[in-house]
Structure formats: C-alpha cells, structure tokens
Structure 1
Amino acid sequence: MSWKEDSDCCSWDGVTCDSATGHVIGLDLSCSWLHGNIPSNSSLFFLPRLRKLNLASNDFNYSKISSGFTDQFSSLTLLNLSWSNFAGSIPPSLSNNITQLAYLDLSYNSFTGQIPSSFSNLQQLRHLDLRGNNFVGEIPASLGNNITQLTYLDLSVNSFSGQIPSPFANLHQLRHLDLRSNKFVGKIPASLGNNITQLAYLDLSSNSFTGQIPSSFSNLQQLHHLDLEFNSFVGKIPDMFTNLTQLSFLDLAYNELIGSIPSSIFELLNLTSVSLSFNNFSGSVELYDFAKLKNLKVLALSNISLSVSTKLTVNSSFPNLSELDLSACNISKFPDVLRTQHQLEWLDLSKNQIRGRIPSWMWDIGVHTLYYLDLSRNFLTSIDHLPWKNLEYLTLDSNLLQGSLPDLPPHMVELLISNNNLTGEIPSSFYLGMNNFQGTIPQTYAKGCNLTYLRLSGNHLEGPLPPSLINCVKLQFLDVGNNNLSGPIPECLGNSTLEILDMRMNKFSGSLPQTFAKSCVLVSLNLNGNRLEGPLPPSLVNCRHLEVIDVGNNQINETFPHWLDVLPELQVLTLRSNRFRGPIGDTKTRVPFPKLRIIDLSYNRFTGVLPIWYLNGFKAMMHGDNNSIEVNYMRSSNYSYYESISLTVKGNDIQMERILTIFATIDLSSNRFQGEISKVLGKLKSLKSLNMSHNNLTGGIPSSLRNLTALESLDLSSNKLAGRGPQFNTFGIDSYSGNSGLCGFPLSKSCSIDEASEPTTPTGFIEGDDASSWFDWKPAMLGYASGVVIGLSIGFMAFVTGRPQWFVRMIERKQSRKLTRVIRRGRAGRRSLLVHL
C-alpha cells in the first residue's frame, strides 16, 4: 500500500536506498504474493546498483532464472530466491557475473542438474543454501578449493552423490554443514575433523556413508549438533566426546555400530537429545547412567541389541524428559524412572517383556502432556484407566488384554489395539481389529461426528453397516474386513470423504453404490470376497486418485469395465472369480491404464482374443524399475494400512498380505480366450508373473517372450498351444502341461528336429518344483534367481500364516535396510540371503 507514484520510492516498504546517492540498493519483496515469471526486460533489472534482492516465498510458476539476474546485477551481494517455485538448471553466468555475492539462498525450489563449476568464481561467498531441490551429481571440487570464506553450507534434501571432496578441508571458516538426505557414499575424510575445527552444526544423516566414525571429530570443540543417523557406519563409537563439551544434540541411530556405549557420552552435560536406536551394541547399559545429563529432554535407545537396566539407585534423580523411547530393550517391568516424569509427551515401551496390569502409579505421568503412548507387543493383561487428557495416539496391539475397553480420552486420533482378546461393547471409533468383538457395529453416528478412522477388521461382527456413517463428515479410513457383516453397502458411501474403504471377506450383497461424487477422494477400494451383484458403477471414474480396485470373488455379472482405463493412478485391478463375460475389445483411450502393474481377470467368462490394445498400453509394466534396491510395499501414507491381494501362483490360491511396489503381474487364466499369444507381451519387461493357463489359446509361443527377463513365474498350461516351446526351458514342465501340440525340452514329447539345436535361453530363471513343495519353507528361493521379488512377497505370505517368527521380525524391523543392501549386491547377496533363510 505504500508503493504510490507520488511518493519517494525510498520510503516504500521493502525498498532500501543509499543515503548519499538515493539509488535503490536493497529490495525485499519476500512473501508478497508475486506470481508468474520474470521476463528479461522487467523493470526489476533497471536497478543496476542493487546490492540485496530478496524474492523468497513467492510463486514464479516453475520458471527459469531470468538472464537479467546475471546481466544486470553485478553489484549484488545478497540473493534470496528460496521457496519461490523456480525450476530448471542454474545458469553458469549467475556465478560468472555476480562475483561479489556473499549470501546465496536457492533453497526449496525445483532446480535440477549439477552445481556449475563456475561457482568457483564466488570467492566472497559466505552463505550458500541449496537444500530441497533436485540437484544431482558430485560436489565440484572447486567449491572447496576457491570458496574458502564459506561459513554456512546446506546441500541437504537433494540427490547429490559421490564422496565428500577432499578440498572440503580448505573450508576452515565453515560453522554449519548440512548434507543430509542425499546419496553420498564412502568414508568420511579425517580432514573434516582435523581442518574444519570451527564447525558447530554437522548433519550427514540419511546417506550411504560407510566405515567408522572418524576419531578426528574430537577436534570439533565448537560442535553443538551432530547427526549421523540412517547411514552404514560400522565399528565402535570412538571415545571422542571428552572434548565435545558444547554438544547438545547427538543422533547415531540406524547404523551398524557395535561394542558398548562410551562413558564419555554421560559426561556431556549440555546434551538435550540423545538417539542411539537401531544399532548392534552388545552388553548392557544402565538407564541411570544418563541421570547426570540434567538438561536431557529426548532419550532414544530402541532396538540397540543390548539390555537396558532400569534399576533405581539410591538417592538418584532423573532429568525431566519430553520423549523416552525404550522399544525392544529387554525390559520386564515399567521403569521406575517414569515415576518422576510429569512432563512426558512421548513414551515407547513396545516390544519388551512387560507383563500383567499397568500399575496405578503410571496414571500420574504426563497427565496433561502425554500425547503418544506405545505399549504394543508386550504381555499386558488389562488396562483399567486412560487418564491422559491430551492423548492422541495409543498403541496396545499384540498383548494379552482381556475384558472391555475403558472410556477413551476426548482428543484421541488413533487407537491401535488389534491382536488381543477384548470383549464387551464396541466403541464407535478407532482401530479395534483382530479381537473377539461380537454383535453389531453401533448403528447411530450423530451429525457432526468427528470420526476419521474406523478399523474393526478381524472380529465376529454381524448385521449391516450403518448408513449414519455419512454423518462422520471427516471419515477417511474404514476397514471392516474379515467379519460376518451382511446386507447392502450403504449408498451414501459413494458420496463420502473416504480415502480407504476395505470391506473384504464379509457377506455384503446387492449392488455397489451407483453414485460416486465428483469430489470422490478414494485411493483404495477393496470389496473382495462378498456376494455383490450387478454392474460396477461408471461413476467410479470420478475417483481420480484410485490406486487399487479389488472386487474379486463376488457375483458381478457384466462385460469388461473398459471405462476404468482412464484412471490415471490405478495400479491394481482385480476382477477375478466373478461372472464377467464377453470379449474385452479395444478402447478409445490413447494410453489406457498408464500405471497399472497388477491385473487379474482370472476365473471369469471372458472370450475372444487377448486384449492386444491394452497390453500395448501398460506403460508401467514396460518401464518399471527391475533393479530397485528398496524393499517397499504399497501402503497408505496417512494410516498403518498395507494393500493386499489374492493371487494364483503355481495353481495355488494365496493371499499376498503386502504388495511390493515393483511387483507386476498379469493373470488371464481360467477364461475362454482364444487365438494366438501376442508378441506384444514381450514389451512388458517388468513382469514378474504371467498366467494365461486354462484358456483356448492356439499357435506357438512367440519368441518375443524372451525379453521378459524379470519373469519369475510362468503358466501357459491347459491351452491348445503347439510347436517347439524352448523360450523358457528353465521353467518346469507344469508351466506348459496340458498343451498336446507342444514339444521339446522340458516337455517329455520330442520334436522332429534335434533337440541340441535349441536356442539359448535367458539366464536368471529357476526350475519350479511341484506345486506343493514349492510353497513351503523356502519362499524366497524363486527370488534367488531373478530379483527376490516374488520370493519376498511369498515369504511375507508364508510368515503371516505362522511361518518362522525370526524372519517376521527381520522384515518388520525398521532395519530392513540391511535386507535391502543384501539384495543390492546382486547374485552374491542373493546367495547370502539364502544362507539366512
């Protein structure tokens, strides 16, 4: 409002002028709601004497940095473009011309590419912030060689790779160094501690650094923040902390450290936060060794492979904590130290051996402050009282709780209490799955109901689903699977705020809701295993965020719902075991099902030729990442909910309780498809499983199927295929049985030509055993040969039904990064995995 033409611009907000010349030398337009790009002829560039320019926190619509910045601002000493939606690469001329820059902040934009080597010209630079972009490549050595005046360097949350350059040792003035959340590798150079002794803040977390923690860190006597979590550091913690008297924050979690905890840590009296969780220490530690740290607020010792003794010593006191994390610490009772913790906000005692009732003195800790409490996976038998006024997250699953639940706190957001033996009335909210609740779901939900999360799966509930759920205007998650619920699905659910709707394995009947609103936000729809009839509603296309549609094992009688192919995020489509009929035909959609990775049309009445147009459009199966090093599962980002699916593998119907994000499969079995197998299938290079058995397919096996080098399971049995079938001669005979016209190895029927002339076959396949022995104690054997994908998936299916619990724990632990690294190392790693199995 102060920018008026009839007034002196030097009085305008955000404008600074030279008192002697009147020239504009500073312009601060941060948080000014600016929008659009900045053309090179902008009046902004008529200010050649500008020294400081701040355009932070605006919206420049992913435009590139204008050439005007580099051509007109040779006097600039400060440039701040953070949080402003700039994009593209950094023009080299930026650092060629603005050589007087002392402060440069480009953080939290969408910049790409590498740091230009011309940054070496910025020899006056003291502050450089590039965090939160998409930069790649190695850090140029010139950044350490020439910009020796740097005191602040933040390259975090990018995709930088390689090692820390040795010229970093020249940054003697550096006080703040943040390299977290990148792809750096290798050992930390000792020079980092020997030469950059002014460091006060050092964050190297969430990378792939290896080797030992340098003992030279003992020289960093000004250090107050040290974060090395989520790396691969090995060896013992060096006893270097005697000199680090200023240290207030220490995080060494999620590494592979061994040995004992150095006693020098207990002498760092300024420490406010200590996290050593998820390492491989040995021996034991006394909790009261930390009692000397009077300023301590956060203590995390979960999963450190040693016993934590909580024995109270005479006349000992403990600092007032806000967070205490003692998961998997071999604790057998509630620690006495808790008796004095009246300001506690976060408490995790999960995965211990605590037995019996929760003691009454626990009701006094954090009565007004505690908002997170995890007591899961212990041996608790009852809970009589929940006195915490502001408790939002309570996890009690996998205990021995009996009886009914007490009244819940008023601000509860999530209650996880599955796998107990609770009975009595059902509270009308939260996560109460896998218990012994019986009867009906509460039928009345008042208008304005604040319920957001309802999970009642795995009980013995009967009766209908209450239509009054529509009154819960914030309901986003509804899971009532694996019960005996019946009746129709309330029509109102199609016009709700639901993101997750899981009603599988019940007795629901009738049709699906026919009207899904344009405001639909559904991500997952699972209705598998009911008695639903009628057509799928075309209004489902309004749910543009849908990733999973599973209506398998119902009685739906209609033709293929081709209109679903426009859903841009759909990854899983399961129509198996229904009464779908007729040919699939072509589609008018240019790229149908662009993200589909799993399609199961088995056990229906589809006819005609294979859907070549669709197969040719499955882009996600053509370009998937077969070499992914991450073991991730499809899951909801907001809730502890993993997607699952039923599959037929080697003739066995099995339930995959978690779906790997790199898993791709096509199942067209047990239909009435005819004609030849299309060579288009050879384009789907990410396929892990292909089942076209029990159809009327004719002709030969196309040679293009040789391109499916990621394939781990193949079933073409019980068709009318003919000719030589050597393309995959490392698959077992059961992959081809029931095709009287096929000949050649591995089939018993010989061809008329010499079998020695068989072409070579792709490596990386393993012969199948018979169906019963294959799905046994070696679920990862298949993955040994070709990517461990089905092996891990089937392995999960195996152990959720009672297979070896040590393997369950290995997968479920947050340290599954170890397994990822085994897989990453290729064949040698796969052999190592089999040794573990």
Structure 2
Amino acid sequence: MSSCNITGSFPEFIRNQENLLYLDLSDNKLSGQIPKWIWNISLTYLNLSCNNFDFLDQFSTPISLPYSDTLVTLDLHANQLPGSFPKAICNCSQLSLLDMSHNQLGGQIPDCLGKIPTLMVLNLQANNFDSISSYAIPSNLLSLKISDNKVEGKLPSSLANCSKLEVLDLGGNMIRDTFPLWLEKLPALKILVLQSNKFYGPLGNRGSATIFPVLHVMDLSSNEFTGNLLEELVQSLAGMKVTTKNESRARYVGDNYNINGYYKESVTITNKGRKMLMDRIITLFTCLDLSQNRFHGEIPEEIRILKSLKALTLSQNNFNGQIPSSLGDLTELESLDLSSNQLSGEIPPQLLRLTFLAVMNLSYNQLEGRIPHGNQFDTFSNSSYEGNPRLCGPPLTRKCHPEAVTPTVDHEDSWTEYILDWKIVGTGYAGGIVIGFSVGYMILSEMRIKWFTDFIRLAGNKERWFNRGQRSLQSW
C-alpha cells in the first residue's frame, strides 16, 4: 500500500492480519505512533518509511518483542521519530536490514546493535547521534552509513573486523582522527566516504598496489589532510585502474545483498561541479575527490594509471607545479576540477584528448599562455579559467600577443618549440642587422668617394672656364 496518499493514524484493520508476512505502507501521510500491536504479527518485512510517525510505542526499552525472531527487514526512514535509539530493535535476532535514517534520533548508537549477528545493512544517516563505540558494529556488515550526524571522537577500530564491508559512509560528522590505515583490511570495500569531518595528517605511506582492489568511489574532501599526494596512494587504488567499458550488463553496488529485491545503495557525491545524490551506485562510476584539504606539492604523473576515473576533484588545496600532461591519458574522465590551487605554466594540450569531458574547472591558479582549442575545450565558458590573469585566447576576452602560439594535441613540447623558434628567429634577425650595416657602410663609402671625385672634376672644369673667359675679355 505504498504511495497511496493514505492519511491519518496507523490502519487499524491490519491488527487482525495474524498471518501477514510483508507489509509496505511507505510514502504515505500517516502520522502519530506506530502501535505496539504491530509486533504481535509475524512480519518478516516491515516498511513504514516516508511518513510522519513520531513515536515508537513499546520500543523505548530493551524488552522482548513477540515475534522478534521473524523480522528480517525494518525500514522506518524519513519519519519524525525522536529520542534515543529504540533498543528493543536489538532483540530482532534475524534482522538483516535496518534503515532508520532521516529521523530525529540522538544520543549514542547503542552497543546492542553489535549483538545482531545477521545484520548486513545499517543505515542511520541524517539523525542527531553523537557517538558510536566499537561494540555497536556487527562483524557481518556489508553496508554502514552514519553520515550527517554529530558523531565525535575516533573511528571505532572494530570496523577492521568487517571484512565483507562494501560501503562505508561516515561523511558530515565531527570525527577527529588520522587516516584509518586499517582500512586495508577491508578487501571488499567499494565506496569510502569520509568527507566533511576533521580527519588530519598525511595519508601515510602504504607501499602496496593492492590495498583497495575494488574501491571505485573515494571521497576525502573537506578535511584537514596534509602532505604530498603520494604516488603510493595512487598505486594503491587498484580498483580505479581498469576500465569496465566492455561489461555487457550494468551492475550496481548492493546487488548481491538486495534484500527482498527493494533495497538500493545510494551516495551523495560532488560530480560535475555540484553535489548530487546517486540513488543507485553503478559499478562503472569511478570517482576520486580530495578537495578542500591541505595537500601540497606536485600532482604526480602516476595519476595516469587511474584510467577508469570518471570524476577527479583536487580543488582548494595547495598543489603547485604544472598540470601533469599525463591527465590526458584519463580518457574516461567526464569531470575535472583543479581550481583554487597554485598550479602554473601552460594548460597541457594533451587534455584535448579528453573527449568525454563535460565539466572542467581550472580557475584561480597561476596558469599562463594561450588556452588550447578544439574538442571539448570549445564548450567551456569563461568561468573555467577565471582567476588566471596570464591566460589568454577564447573564450576569454583577453587577447594573446601575436607571437603566442596555440597549443595543439600534436605538439607536446609546444613551449620548448616556441622558445627555440624565437631563438632561431632572434639569431637570424641579429645577424641580418650586422650584415645590413656592413653592406650599407660599404655602399656609403663608395658613394662618398664617387661624390668627392665628381666634386673635384666639377671644380676643375669651373676654373678652366673662368680662365678662358678672362683671356677673351682681355683680347676684346
């Protein structure tokens, strides 16, 4: 009975359905309390999400429920449930999926959750929880989402025991810790989101290329990470190295634990310059977001090996040096954001190879020279380049000097060739001036001698004519 615009309180007629196994009242306008008699029905699936329930009767204390050993799926997300976590849920010994996200629950995530051996999916996003201990995490978890709460302290080390974990989303909290190196013990991890916390320090030296064999979404943005973007980190992202374009069928994260055929994994990421909710996470999508940290040094050329990347965001750090030309090897890239760093030099013409690039942001760096043109570059607006006063050429209104050359994809060393050409021209020009002066001097010298000779000859003629005239006068 989902999405039927049902209003009022919980439907009373359901009370007598003793053999009911599957109940879906989601996405209606029901309000008030969830009645205690609902637990007298041997339900295996209960979905009351996206309503306005504001009370869980008989759930405030850890008492036993009549059919606590039958319930497999409990979805109460997007209601207005207040108070602390209802500990009676911990008695549901067969529970596989628990979604209580987007409510008003607070306090500590209870330790008793760690005693549910069958729990595979735990989603407590968008509540007011402020702490979680190591005892609250069942070892069989495949998906753990506690993002957008108020969780403080360090990450519980018991997460290292969740060897089957595929999705870990802890973003939007106040966790203060160094990068959890024990994540290397999670070989099945596909999605890692730690954004908007207080993680700090370097990412560490891993020295292994197989730490994250299947990880394809990594979001560490808006933290306090420092140090160089280590080559070891790039080498460790094995799941981002191999393209999957040849897959015959699209696969989604969570397909292998899609309980009752309804649960879909989702994640909120920054893609193509804006935050977006991916209500299903396709395994073909590969994203690396390290923005708004304190990374410095040069972007390593080794980044070229992450060939399956669709989105790369390194903005708002302290990266310097030139944009690595090896980025042109990431031919699957659809979004590239290197804005607000200290990058210098020309824009590599190799980026013209990125023919799938829909969004590019190079603003607020120290880039210079003519902007490459052709392919996707002809679609980008001024905003992609603003804050680089030494860049010129379309789409900017700032014109380039006539001697500026246009970088093209076929000239990898365009700047070197540019300088070399002008050295040759300059040398020829200087030589021409010297030869010109020499020839001119010789011509002027010959002209001066001829002029002087003509002058003497003319003067002699004038004297002879004068003497002849004087003798004629005397004779007369």
Q: Same fold (TM over 0.5)?
A: yes
Question: 2:408 aligned with 1:758, yes or no?
Answer: yes
Measured in 2, the distance between the counterparts of 1:412 and 1:613 equals 55
Question: 2:338 aligned with 1:716, yes or no?
Answer: yes
The 1:408/1:584 distance shift into structure 2, 3 A limit, reads farther
The 1:575/1:705 distance shift into structure 2, 3 A limit, reads same
SS at match of 1:424: strand
Listed one character per residue, the Cα deviations across residues 770-821 of structure 1 (whole Å, up to 9, x for unaligned) are xxxxxxxxxxxxxxxxxxxxxxxxxxxxxxxxxxxxxxxxxxxxxxxxxxxx
Tell me how far 1:470 sits from its aligned partner.
Answer: 2.3
1:139-150, aligned counterparts within 5 Å? none
Measured in 1, the distance between the counterparts of 2:358 and 2:391 equals 14
SS at match of 1:488: strand
The 1:622/1:698 distance shift into structure 2, 3 A limit, reads same
Which residue of the partner structure matches residue 198 of structure 2?
A: 579
Measured in 1, the distance between the counterparts of 2:321 and 2:16 equals 65
Listed one character per residue, the Cα deviations across residues 284-303 of structure 1 (whole Å, up to 9, x for unaligned) are xxxxxxxxxxxxxxxxxxxx
The 1:624/1:758 distance shift into structure 2, 3 A limit, reads closer
Which residue of the partner structure matches residue 239 of structure 1?
A: none
Measured in 2, the distance between the counterparts of 1:684 and 1:588 equals 17
Which residue of the partner structure matches residue 607 of structure 1?
A: 226
Contact between 2:339 and 2:362, CA under 8 Å: does it hold in 1? Answer: yes
The 1:526/1:733 distance shift into structure 2, 3 A limit, reads closer
Tell me how far 1:741 sits from its aligned partner.
Answer: 3.2
1:751-830, aligned counterparts within 5 Å? 754-760=404-410
Which residue of the partner structure matches residue 505 of structure 1?
A: 126
The 1:411/1:681 distance shift into structure 2, 3 A limit, reads farther
1:79-98, aligned counterparts within 5 Å? none
Which residue of the partner structure matches residue 351 of structure 2?
A: 728
**Residue 446 of structure 1 is aligned with which of 64, 76, 86?**
64
**Residue 391 of structure 2 is aligned with which of 732, 745, 749?**
749
Contact between 1:717 and 1:734, CA under 8 Å: does it hold in 2? Answer: no
Contact between 1:581 and 1:604, CA under 8 Å: does it hold in 2? Answer: yes
Q: Which runs of 4+ in 1 moved over 6 A?
A: none
1:312-711, aligned counterparts within 5 Å? 396-403=1-8, 404-405=10-11, 406-407=14-15, 409-426=17-34, 427=38, 430-440=46-56, 442-444=59-61, 445-446=63-64, 449-450=68-69, 451-497=71-117, 498-510=119-131, 512-515=132-135, 520-587=139-206, 591-635=210-254, 636-639=257-260, 640-711=262-333
Question: Once the two structures are aligned, what percentage of the paired residues are identical?
Answer: 38
The 1:435/1:449 distance shift into structure 2, 3 A limit, reads same
Contact between 2:110 and 2:136, CA under 8 Å: does it hold in 1? Answer: no
Contact between 1:516 and 1:543, CA under 8 Å: does it hold in 2? Answer: no
The 1:523/1:626 distance shift into structure 2, 3 A limit, reads same
Return the letter of the residue paired with 1:674. H
Tell me how far 1:440 sits from its aligned partner.
Answer: 4.0
Question: 2:399 aligned with 1:740, yes or no?
Answer: no
Tell me how far 1:398 sits from its aligned partner.
Answer: 1.1
Measured in 1, the distance between the counterparts of 2:232 and 2:112 equals 36
Tell me how far 1:617 sits from its aligned partner.
Answer: 1.8
Return the letter of the residue paired with 2:120. E
Contact between 2:242 and 2:308, CA under 8 Å: does it hold in 1? Answer: yes
Contact between 2:371 and 2:407, CA under 8 Å: does it hold in 1? Answer: no
Tell me how far 1:742 sits from its aligned partner.
Answer: 4.4
Tell me how far 1:553 sits from its aligned partner.
Answer: 0.3
Return the letter of the residue paired with 2:122. L
SS at match of 2:344: strand
Return the letter of the residue paired with 2:220. L
Return the letter of the residue paired with 1:446. S
Listed one character per residue, the Cα deviations across residues 621-665 of structure 1 (whole Å, up to 9, x for unaligned) are 111302434344323322411111111234422222221121100
Listed one character per residue, the Cα deviations across residues 343-398 of structure 1 (whole Å, up to 9, x for unaligned) are xxxxxxxxxxxxxxxxxxxxxxxxxxxxxxxxxxxxxxxxxxxxxxxxxxxxx211
Contact between 2:334 and 2:359, CA under 8 Å: does it hold in 1? Answer: no
Listed one character per residue, the Cα deviations across residues 450-469 of structure 1 (whole Å, up to 9, x for unaligned) are 22211000111111112232
Contact between 1:481 and 1:504, CA under 8 Å: does it hold in 2? Answer: yes
Return the letter of the residue paired with 2:5. L
The 1:732/1:549 distance shift into structure 2, 3 A limit, reads closer
Measured in 2, the distance between the counterparts of 1:739 and 1:728 equals 17
Tell me how far 1:487 sits from its aligned partner.
Answer: 1.2
Contact between 1:421 and 1:435, CA under 8 Å: does it hold in 2? Answer: yes
Contact between 1:697 and 1:721, CA under 8 Å: does it hold in 2? Answer: yes
Which residue of the partner structure matches residue 826 of structure 1?
A: none
Measured in 1, the distance between the counterparts of 2:358 and 2:49 equals 41
Measured in 2, the distance between the counterparts of 1:495 and 1:744 equals 63
Contact between 1:566 and 1:593, CA under 8 Å: does it hold in 2? Answer: no
The 1:425/1:670 distance shift into structure 2, 3 A limit, reads same
Tell me how far 1:408 sits from its aligned partner.
Answer: 6.3
1:147-226, aligned counterparts within 5 Å? none
Measured in 2, the distance between the counterparts of 1:421 and 1:535 equals 39
Measured in 1, the distance between the counterparts of 2:193 and 2:275 equals 14
Contact between 1:486 and 1:506, CA under 8 Å: does it hold in 2? Answer: yes
Which residue of the partner structure matches residue 153 of structure 1?
A: none
Measured in 2, the distance between the counterparts of 1:567 and 1:494 equals 18
Contact between 1:505 and 1:528, CA under 8 Å: does it hold in 2? Answer: yes
The 1:631/1:443 distance shift into structure 2, 3 A limit, reads same
Measured in 1, the distance between the counterparts of 2:115 and 2:233 equals 30
Measured in 1, the distance between the counterparts of 2:16 and 2:72 equals 15
Contact between 1:452 and 1:474, CA under 8 Å: does it hold in 2? Answer: yes
Tell me how far 1:475 sits from its aligned partner.
Answer: 1.2
Structure number with the bigger relative contact order (C-alpha 8 A, sep ≥ 6) is 2
Measured in 1, the distance between the counterparts of 2:2 and 2:227 equals 50
Tell me how far 1:411 sits from its aligned partner.
Answer: 4.5
The 1:589/1:413 distance shift into structure 2, 3 A limit, reads farther
Q: Please, which runs of 5 or more residues in structure 2 have no aligned partner?
A: 373-384, 393-399, 412-476
- TM-score for the superposition, normalised by structure 1: 0.42
The 1:530/1:623 distance shift into structure 2, 3 A limit, reads same
Give 1 or 2: higher helix fraction: 2
Contact between 2:209 and 2:232, CA under 8 Å: does it hold in 1? Answer: no
Listed one character per residue, the Cα deviations across residues 589-634 of structure 1 (whole Å, up to 9, x for unaligned) are 5621111000000000000011321211212211130243434432
Which residue of the partner structure matches residue 291 of structure 1?
A: none
526-535 or 486-495: bigger deviation: 486-495
SS at match of 1:539: helix
Return the letter of the residue paired with 1:416. D
Tell me how far 1:681 sits from its aligned partner.
Answer: 1.2
Return the letter of the residue paired with 2:102. N
| Structure whose CA Rg is larger | 2
The 1:733/1:407 distance shift into structure 2, 3 A limit, reads closer
Measured in 1, the distance between the counterparts of 2:169 and 2:160 equals 15
Q: Please, which runs of 5 or more residues in structure 1 have no aligned partner?
A: 1-395, 762-837
Which residue of the partner structure matches residue 308 of structure 1?
A: none
Contact between 1:621 and 1:686, CA under 8 Å: does it hold in 2? Answer: yes
Which residue of the partner structure matches residue 157 of structure 1?
A: none
- TM-score for the superposition, normalised by structure 2: 0.71
